[in-house]
Amino acid sequence: MRATAFVCLLAQGLLASACLTEEELRGFRHNLPILHRRQRAQTNKTNDGTIPRGLGDRFKNGTVAPRGIGSQTGANFTSFYSMDQIQSATLGLVNEFNLTYFELPLKTFENRTMYGLKMPGKAGPTVLLQAGIHARERGGPDHLINFVADLLWAQREGTGLVYGGMSYTAQDVLTALSHGLVVLPLVNPDGVAFDHATNGCWRKNRNPASARPNDTDATTGVDLNRNFASVWDFRKEMAPISDDILSVSDDPESEVFHGTAPLSEPEARNIDWVMDQMPDLRWMADLHSHATQILYAWGHDTNQVRDPSMNLLNRSYDGKRGAVPDDLAKGYVYAEYIEQQRLDRITILSSRVADGMLGAAGRSYTAQISVGLYPTTGVVTDHVMYRSLVDSSKKTADAITIEFGQYNRDALCSFYPTVPMHNFNMMDVGAGLMEFLLEAARLG
Ligand SMILES: *[C@@H]1O[C@H](CO)[C@@H](O)[C@H](O)[C@H]1NC(C)=O
Ligand SMILES: *[C@@H]1O[C@H](CO)[C@@H](O)[C@H](O)[C@H]1NC(C)=O
Ligand SMILES: *[C@@H]1O[C@H](CO)[C@@H](O)[C@H](O)[C@H]1NC(C)=O
Ligand SMILES: *[C@@H]1O[C@H](CO)[C@@H](O)[C@H](O)[C@H]1NC(C)=O
Ligand SMILES: *[C@@H]1O[C@H](CO)[C@@H](O)[C@H](O)[C@H]1NC(C)=O
Ligand SMILES: *[C@@H]1O[C@H](CO)[C@@H](O)[C@H](O)[C@H]1NC(C)=O
Ligand SMILES: *[C@@H]1O[C@H](CO)[C@@H](O)[C@H](O)[C@H]1NC(C)=O
Ligand SMILES: [Zn+2]
């Protein structure tokens, strides 16, 4: 536990960039409202060397199926998928491979319908794959859809897959597909639509319920990846550690605004609903950019394996969580309980995913505990684990956050990749998700 905390602090200094820009990290560490000023500017500039948005409908309303970078040689993706293309690509897979398409029950604030696809396996579905929760993290939906497409094409043709330096056999493809998968390619459609329309580096959803009337542009939106139920009420459950350190906020102006209640947002409730539809849910991976990291539980504090009663449901630890390292003087002494065997599985799984992503295009990925980046609450991957803690009728499930790709320092929005970066990211994600599914199959 001590050792883990120490490593995390080291990592924090070097790598604290996942999902937030350097200026945002400085911003929330020093309460400087920086990014929203740029978002408000909305220059719509597109000629900053980043990959352009795809035009037209390359999947012809679902009559053409996509194919990724792992099941064909020499592919070069020179645009990213538009909103329409994400949907038509999904429909293309459904039609070509006879998958199940489903819609989620709640509409978003802007009345969009969320959707997913379901693939049969030997059991389950036991695996949930998700992308697009942070709108500006461009490429997530593309990489997820194209990875699934690769698996299906390879299965049909009886071949393996190649992601840069990583090769997989036809048998690996069958093993990866054996789980039964549910895929949610775009879980923040309003945010992504807005980001595409404005190139404004938009992260959150578009719910204006908490916006201040005199400043709606800067105060619209909830960070969906702070809106889930696990330790949502950070003011009560976490130690009163400085807002400079916490990556969550109750200020609607913040990029990490957590909403008005656990699962207050329809997008978050929809995702929770999907999990409810998966009684055999065992593994989940959520795609983000751009830290070249694999993050595993927990987000709110370090892990410990000795004291099962020290856990996030025990109210006697409210106000003590989140200090890394513990602050003995103030009594902030806490680490989240996790069974040793489970911790071993999730760390080995995360390392394997990181190694696969390194092997794809040669960019270094590291696996680490989520709190090592910054203490955070209400994230979807912790929610996956939390669900079986509050309801023992649910099977335990484990989840990782995959932070693909690197900063694009030359872009107005560092989350927008160049064409070469987008293609490398697609290889990385392909290899990472392959390793994830293969290791999950090995672990059972
Ligand atoms: C940017 O594009 C959006 C959506 O098309 C539009 O509403 C807005 O006025 C544009 N902003 C500028 C500065 O051109
Ligand atoms: C796209 O396909 C759907 C059925 O999948 C159909 O209802 C819709 O009219 C089509 N749209 C266009 C523009 O062809
Ligand atoms: C991919 O296409 C872009 C834009 O057309 C081009 O600049 C780049 O060299 C191509 N990359 C490869 C590996 O072919
Ligand atoms: C498509 O899948 C359904 C079950 O989901 C099955 O009943 C049907 O026969 C399949 N159709 C084809 C053409 O394989
Ligand atoms: C969503 O649909 C409802 C009911 O049709 C309508 O009242 C509301 O104005 C719509 N909201 C937006 C943002 O378009
Ligand atoms: C909007 O009003 C709030 C108080 O309700 C104030 O704190 C804030 O500075 C105002 N913002 C602007 C941009 O005027
Ligand atoms: C909660 O933690 C306290 C120690 O702070 C312990 O005495 C108590 O038994 C725990 N409660 C449960 C239900 O485990
Ligand atoms: Zn993110």
Kindly report, residue by residue over 288-329, the tens digit of the pLDDT: 999 999 999 999 999 999 999 999 999 999 999 999 999 999
Separation of CA 215 and ligand 6 centre (Å): 7
Separation of CA 371 and ligand 1 centre (Å): 37
More reliable by pLDDT, 201 or 87: 87
The pLDDT, as a whole number, for residue 2 is: 29
Average pLDDT, the chain: 91
CA distance 116 to 94: 10
Total structural domains in the chain?
A: 1
Separation of CA 420 and ligand 3 centre (Å): 7
Give nearest CA residue, ligand 1 atom 5. Answer: 197
- Name the band, by pLDDT with cuts 50, 70 and 90, for residue 410: confident
Residue 8 has pLDDT above 60, yes or no: no
Residue 33 has pLDDT above 50, yes or no: no
Residue 16 has pLDDT above 80, yes or no: no
CA distance 69 to 79: 13
pTM of the predicted model as reported, rounded to 2 decimal places: 0.91
Separation of CA 310 and ligand 7 centre (Å): 7
More reliable by pLDDT, 357 or 33: 357
63 lines ligand 2 (CB under 6 A): no
The range of the structural domain enclosing residue 209 comes to: 3-443
Give nearest CA residue, ligand 3 atom 3. Answer: 78
Pocket test for ligand 7, best of 304, 306, 310, 316 (most atoms within 8 A of CB): 316
The pLDDT, as a whole number, for residue 444 is: 83
CATH number at residue 355: 3.40.630.10
Q: Tell me the mean pLDDT in the region 190-198.
A: 95
Atom of ligand 3 nearest to the CA of 420: 11
Residue 284 has pLDDT above 90, yes or no: yes
Give nearest CA residue, ligand 2 atom 4. Answer: 61
- Name the band, by pLDDT with cuts 50, 70 and 90, for residue 441: very high
The pLDDT, as a whole number, for residue 9 is: 29
Give nearest CA residue, ligand 3 atom 4. Answer: 78
Q: Tell me the mean pLDDT in the region 54-77.
A: 96
Separation of CA 149 and ligand 2 centre (Å): 21
- Name the band, by pLDDT with cuts 50, 70 and 90, for residue 64: very high
The pLDDT, as a whole number, for residue 44 is: 54
Atom of ligand 6 nearest to the CA of 218: 13
How large a percentage of the chain has pLDDT more than 70? 90
pLDDT tens, position by position, 88-116 = 999 999 999 999 999 999 999 999 999 99
Residue 389 has pLDDT above 70, yes or no: yes
The pLDDT, as a whole number, for residue 67 is: 98
- Name the band, by pLDDT with cuts 50, 70 and 90, for residue 124: confident
CA distance 151 to 254: 39
Residue 34 has pLDDT above 50, yes or no: no
- Name the band, by pLDDT with cuts 50, 70 and 90, for residue 40: very low
Q: Tell me the mean pLDDT in the region 401-422.
A: 92
- Name the band, by pLDDT with cuts 50, 70 and 90, for residue 276: very high
How large a percentage of the chain has pLDDT more than 90? 82
Residue 175 has pLDDT above 70, yes or no: yes
Q: At what angle do helices 83-97 and 140-157 cross, to 10 degrees?
A: 20
* Candidate ranges 120-129, 147-156, 210-219; pick with highest mean pLDDT: 147-156
62 lines ligand 2 (CB under 6 A): yes
Pocket test for ligand 2, best of 57, 59, 61 (most atoms within 8 A of CB): 61
- Name the band, by pLDDT with cuts 50, 70 and 90, for residue 48: confident
Contact residues for 12 (Cβ-Cβ < 8 A; gap 6+): 372, 373, 374
The pLDDT, as a whole number, for residue 23 is: 63
> Nearest bound ligand to CA 96?
4
Residue 424 has pLDDT above 60, yes or no: yes
110 lines ligand 5 (CB under 6 A): yes
78 lines ligand 3 (CB under 6 A): yes
Q: Tell me the mean pLDDT in the region 329-356.
A: 97
Q: Tell me the mean pLDDT in the region 217-237.
A: 96
Residue 51 has pLDDT above 90, yes or no: yes
The pLDDT, as a whole number, for residue 46 is: 57
